[in-house]
Structure 1
Amino acid sequence: MSVSAPHRPSEVADSLAAGPRVPDEGRTHRARRPRRTLPRLGPVDREVLWLYLLTRVGIWTTTGAVGWLFPSDGNARRPASPLAPWQQWDWTHYLHIARDGYFPGQAGPWTAGWDNREAFFPGFPLTLRAVHAVVPDWAAAGALISFLAGGIAVLALARIARLRLPDQDAGRRTVLFFLLSPCAVFLAAGYTEALFLALALPAWLAAQRRNWPAASVLACLACSVRVTGLYLVAALVLHFVLTARGRRAWRAAPWLCLPALAPALYSWYLQTRTGDWMAWKHAQERGWYRDFHAPWEAWANTWEAAFHHTQPTGYALMWQAELLAMLVGVVLIAVLVRGRRWPEALYIALTLWALGTSYWYTSVPRSTLLWWPLWTALATWSQRRPRVQSAYLYVVGPLGITVALTFLTGRWAG
């Protein structure tokens, strides 16, 4: 993988999302100024990046405080490295894949104690391995990926909001809700959320501008990071069908087949190693109880874990959060359907179906980070009712600190 010269985050998002410009035929006789290939950051973009940097300072300050206040050894005289709290849970799977591959030493699902790492798509581990060639520390490489990807994501999110909402402050408000969301800590972790959003949001932005080649390439890359990319592709296809007008527009339709390439190649790779085309799905079933259950069964099992005192209190509270996040998702679908935003509604519905048909709910609150219609909907609501933003900052905001402390101290946080 080649490493290109660094660009500003907004430049990357815009260059991927901007569609081809049609020349002004009535002025072809005039000399044209050279067009900038990559637009500069505007005032709103700089404000969004400033918010992003401030929240990064906040989360890393919290990380440092955790090292001093909650050491793994109660008698420690020196704090742990600021990177230590991030090296847990799913990070260990991504690290093992990036460092050792999917099947090291002929190990696999047939091996006792297997960690089911094939459940994780290869996009993030491959990126981690590439960055590690420049940044020797694995945890630092993961943090750097999420930091840069998060910057691209917030810029794209702000621009999506400005396309939907008329006021100039729409982008800032949307990003504010997003960055102070309860599970925002995972945007800084060596997880897939930030990288996925850095690809999926520019893909959606490109689709709004009818730049289907760029949207398809970005969606293909997003599909290599998370299975959620397939739900994004479904939304893109529906958006294309609803907006394509005329034979010329439909010529771009073949581009929408491209995103299937990433999951198809990964399934083929797993089949050559395990003989199973759906090895990633079966790994999820073995390791995370993601075998199919009817939605009402999943709700009942999660409710029992949350309220019937069958689980330790920390896990029970997280399952209560899972139930609440599922309800938020259902309400969001209703809002999107009412507004006839069919592609976004389809994206959320497919996500909830996948998360809501396992034995019990897992990581639904964390998945809310990927629901960009939620953050634009909150921004719209706060425009009509200014008190919504204040309520969110003072009530929901502190929950983000609680989740961050839970995760950084090694407890399960979704």
Structure 2
Amino acid sequence: MPIFIDRRLNPKDKSLGNRQRFLRRVRAELKRNVQDEIRAGRIADADGQQTVSLPAKGTGEPSFRDAKDSGQRQYVMPGNQHFTPGDQVPKPSQGSGAGSAPGLQPSEDDFRFVLSREEVLDLFFEDLELPDLVKLNLKEILAFKPRRAGYSVSGSPTNISIARTMRNSHGRRIALRRPKREEVEAIQQEIASLEADGADIADCRRVVALRAELDRLERRRRVIAFVDPVDIRFNRFDAQPLPNTKAVMFCLMDVSGSMGEREKDLAKRFFVLLHLFLKRRYERTELVFIRHTHTAQEVDEDTFFYSTQSGGTVVSTALEEMQSIIARRYPSREWNIYAAQASDGDNLSTDSQRCLSLMDSEIMRLCQYFAYVEIIDERESEIFGSTDNGTSLWRAYRTVRERWPNFDMSRIAKAADIYPVFRQLFTRQPAQPRG
């Protein structure tokens, strides 16, 4: 009898094929639920499992059933006490079963589906067509430095510890009583002096005894090596994690009245991607959230994304707040400073010139890299997509880009633009020397 062994990779259980078919059937509903869950939850929870509820209708697996109106069949029902072959079974009356009024008959709860971390990210970023992150502008924060960790019996010849090897050799020679060189030389001198004085019977016997002892000592010295392989020790080094650089990312977002729900949602999704990017690659990077209307303030994560405060627009207040925080907590000689700003570009022309002055005089000298994202209407994308015309803030930042190679900017009109723009902003060559 043949034995078949299925060696195909199939994680966890045997329902992988059914699970994938189910995901394809309800992808649109799952995607909508995942986005709603992430909008309503914390920004950091996007990078984890999600439990979403789906209507029970449509969640069943396809199955084959016999056609009721064809063929001849006879059924034997267990527990039948009322019917005999040929009797007609009455249909359920109206108002009972699945079509009954809500609350009068039992019904099924919504189907709860647990998505893995990878499935959540695939659904959330599906319209962004995520490619592989190959080359990144931010530096790796975690480095490894060799640290002395004792000795080992194996290793590279360049790591031999001479002191520890000779110490082991000395102890072994003492324990095995290896003859010292001074003992051998003393016997040789005594033999030479006896032979030079003249040979009588007593001296001859003494010389024979000394030669026998000398031969025994030399054999013992040859057997007990001066340095044996068991004596050799190598310096051992362990890789110790060391934060070779400290980095901080400033997230600046415009939450003024000109930023509608669509603009705020696009800005939030951009910062979601930035947060996941930093969380997965640079665990030790600090995040500073700054939101601004006509005033700016540093806030926590929840306030940054979910506060309903609104007002006028003065973009320079966010840059001034960032400059103040750097001066207090993040000196540029010790920290790698990065910044990402999202706005709809609505700003006073005089304040845009103020932004240009702040960027030129101080901020760009402190930052390793500064990225600006302007959120525009989809109808404006055809007008502004291929030209440098735009708001006063865009024109001011365009001047900054011409002067500073560590500054870049782009526009977002729809959700599908977010990841290409993100990749454009964070897939740069190493920053050029700054003036």
Q: TM-score, normalised by structure 1?
A: 0.27
Larger Rg: 1 or 2?
A: 2
Q: In proportion to residue count, which structure has more strand?
A: 2
Q: In proportion to residue count, which structure has more helix?
A: 1
